[in-house]
Copies of this chain bind each other. A is one copy, B any other.
């Protein structure tokens, strides 16, 4: 529209006849200004086009009202769900979220951290890359601002606030289910690049032994260089089936994307995993990837509570930002997984 554009608060002050400090207080919190004056300001604002400068606003405030969020990958609906949950929670708390993606590159992750520090964000939330990460980056953030890790945690980062899934519980749950209904599962793992995958593998082994079964882990060797989860799952199971193995077994995949690939391998061998057939060939996953209900067969899995994780991460960060912590012991919040029974197991 043709509203006159006003660039600074000074000009605005002149235009609507209210002093600049009063305007400043109005933009921070209208309740600090007398209702009568508020009305005058709002009437004036309706007349012009003015947006306070973001940088000038933050330059001399004690709090920027921003938090930084780093996720490792964009092309994974799990992180995307987590990010959505975080962004909504932060928005409800009135925070501006600056999201950065590492794109699988530790150097980019490090740069994102620098940016956050440089922006004086009130706090940072990071879902780390796998092994590759330079953990000095996390320690740096940890030492400079309120900091919470999400999803997975390097085993060398024990003194940090963390929010994630209890993989011992979640993996135990599905191992127990698979053992209860049919054959004890083998575990389709992946190359050791992901902390969570390792935790799940360990949880699988522990639960199997607890139940008196012999654990069996597959797929820890790299299949091809720039592998994707689905391709890896498909390749590993395909090799097994081609060798005449596993056709009557249950297969627990370290995550759903591996399972999607495994299902494809099975289908190409004429096998249709399913729980209908007692004791027969079954495939299960972990995470409850959004597409699980929509594939053939739909994938039995154990859901991570991404929504709870995102909300908790934000609320914990806010708590650390506000500074009213009874003690400064790092808080580890682990949410239980829940069984999603579908067709595949």
> Which of A's residues lie within 8 Å of B, judged by CB?
51-59, 74-75, 77, 80-81, 83-84, 87-88, 91, 96, 98-99, 101, 103, 108, 114-115, 117-120, 230-231, 234, 260-261, 263-264, 267, 290-291, 293-296, 298
Which B residues touch A119, using CB under 8 A?
54-55
Which B residues touch A81, using CB under 8 A?
74-75
CA A231 to CA B293, docked complex, whole Å: 9
Q: Are the C-beta atoms of B101 and A84 separated by less than 8 Å?
A: yes
Given contacts A83-B74, A264-B294, contact A55 B58 (CB under 8 A): yes
Q: Which of A58, A74, A98, A99 has the most CB of B within 10 A?
A: A74
Q: Are the C-beta atoms of B263 and A52 separated by less than 8 Å?
A: no
Q: Is the interface of A mostly helix, strand, loop or mixed?
A: helix
Given contacts A55-B58, A55-B59, contact A87 B115 (CB under 8 A): no
CA A91 to CA B58, docked complex, whole Å: 24
Q: What are the 3 tightest A-B residue pairs by CB atom distance, in nearest-first order?
A: A230-B294, A55-B55, A54-B118
Q: Are the C-beta atoms of A103 and B84 separated by less than 8 Å?
A: yes
Q: Are the C-beta atoms of B88 and A84 separated by less than 8 Å?
A: no
Q: Are the C-beta atoms of B101 and A55 separated by less than 8 Å?
A: no
Given contacts A80-B74, A84-B75, A87-B103, contact A295 B54 (CB under 8 A): no
